[in-house]
Amino acid sequence: MGSIIEAEKPVTGWAARDSTGLLSPYAYTLRKTGAEDVVIKVLYCGICHTDLHQARNDLGMSKYPMVPGHEVVGEVVEVGAEVRRFLVGDRVGSGAIVGCCGECRPCRDEVEQYCNKKIWSYNDVYFDGKPTQGGFASAMVVHQKFLVKIPSGLALEQAGPLLCAGVTVYSPLKHFGLTTAGLRGGILGLGGVGHMGVKFAKALGHHVTVISSSDRKRAEAVDHLGADAYLVSSDEAAMAAAADTFDYIIDTVPVHHPLEPYLALLKLDGKLVLMGVINQPLQFLTPMIMLGRKSITGSFIGSMKETEEMLAFCVEKGLSSTIEVVKMEYVNEAFKRLERNDVRYRFVIDVAGSNLDASGGAELH
C-alpha cells in the first residue's frame, strides 16, 4: 500500500503556547500508524468557536503547546493493516473525537460522543499517553472508527464545518423528532452553528425564525439564508407577539445570556436545545418550565453514524456551509474576527495551500 509519510511522521502544526491563544508554527511527530489507524494529509480545517475557547484557556483545562482544529478534511495517505473502510486516496473527514472506551452504553448505542472516556482530537491524551493534536497541521493519524468519507457531491472546503457545526444541529433535530414538515423553529444566534441550523430546518420544511440581539443580520438571515422571520430579542413588543409560537429553539449562543425570554417563546411541550459552551451557570424560574411542560435540554455534536447521515442529507438537499477560506498565516487575525463575530459564517483554513513554516507575523516560541 506504500507510505508517503515515514514512520516517525514529522509534521508542522500551528500551536498556542499559552492563554494568549496566539498561534505559531510548531514541529512535532505523529504516533506510528496502528493496525486500525489512518494517516491523512490535511487539506482543509474549519475554525470553530471552541478552538478559540481552548486556545485561550477559557474553560480552564487547556494544555500547551496545543494544535487546535477539529473540522478536518483530508486525503488518506497511509492505512494500517486492519483498516477495511478506507483506501489510500480517499477523501475523509475527522471531527471533535478520536477515541472512546467502546464498552459503555453510549459506545454500545453508537452515540460515542457521550462516552465519559472519549478522547478529544486535541488538548487531550491518547491511549498511548501522548497529547492529541488537531487539524491546524499538515497531517493527522486517526483511528478508522472516527473518520467518515466525504461524498463526491460535496466540495472539500465546504465539508469541514459540517463535521462540527453541521452535525451539531442535525443530531438534536433528528434525536428529538424535530424533522416533521411544518414545525415552527427558532435559531438563536447566527454564527457557524446557527447558520447551519437555518439551512437544515428550512430543508426539513420548517418555518424558521432567526432570533438575534440586534437587527444587524436581518437581511443576511432572510435574504441570504432564507429564514421566514427575524426576531430582535430586545424588541419587547415583538417578543411578546411571538410568545407560545415555537415548537423548538436551537440556542447556539456561546456566551452567558438569560433563558427566560426564549422559554416564553415556546409552545406547550416546546424544547430549548442548548448548544453553546458557556463556563457560567444559566438561570431560569421553574414556572417558566412547569406551566408549559417545556424542556431545556442539550445536545453535543453528533455520532459518527449521524455524521455520515448528515453528509448524505447535505448532498441530497444541496446544502453546504457558508465559508470564508483563509491561509494558516491569517489564523490569528481570523481568531480576532471570530471573537467579534466578523465572519460569514465559518472560517476554513486552506491547510495544504499554506506555508505552515511561515510565522505570518506571529511570535515564534
Whole-number Å distance between alpha carbons of 150 and 144: 14
Q: Please give the grid coordinates belonging to residue 138.
A: 499538515
The pLDDT tens digits of the residues spanning 166-219 come to 999 999 999 999 999 999 999 999 989 999 999 999 999 999 999 999 999 999
Q: Of 37-46, 120-129, 144-153, 353-362, give the lowest mean pLDDT range.
A: 353-362
Whole-number Å distance between alpha carbons of 179 and 172: 10
Cβ atoms of 247 and 270 within 8 Å: the answer is yes
Contacts of 291 (CB under 8 A, 6+ apart): none
- β-sheet bridge partners, residue 36: none
The pLDDT tens digits of the residues spanning 243-302 come to 999 999 999 998 899 999 999 999 999 999 999 888 899 999 999 999 999 999 999 999
Pairing of strands 10-16, 71-79: unpaired
Cβ atoms of 11 and 342 within 8 Å: the answer is no
Whole-number Å distance between alpha carbons of 234 and 256: 16
Convert 52-76 into a string of H (helix), E (strand) and C (coil). Answer: HHHHCCCCCCCCCCECCCCEEEEEE
DSSP string, 180-203: STT-EEEEE--SHHHHHHHHHHHH
Residue 359: what pLDDT? 74
> What is this structure's pTM?
0.92
Give the ranges where the chain is alpha helix by DSSP (H): 49-55, 105-108, 156-161, 167-175, 192-203, 218-219, 236-241, 260-263, 286-290, 304-317, 331-339
User: Is the bond leading into 65 cis (omega within 30 degrees of zero)?
Assistant: yes
Whole-number Å distance between alpha carbons of 10 and 138: 9
The pLDDT tens digits of the residues spanning 85-132 come to 999 999 999 999 999 999 999 999 999 999 999 999 999 999 999 999
The pLDDT tens digits of the residues spanning 219-236 come to 999 999 999 999 999 999
Cβ atoms of 237 and 258 within 8 Å: the answer is no
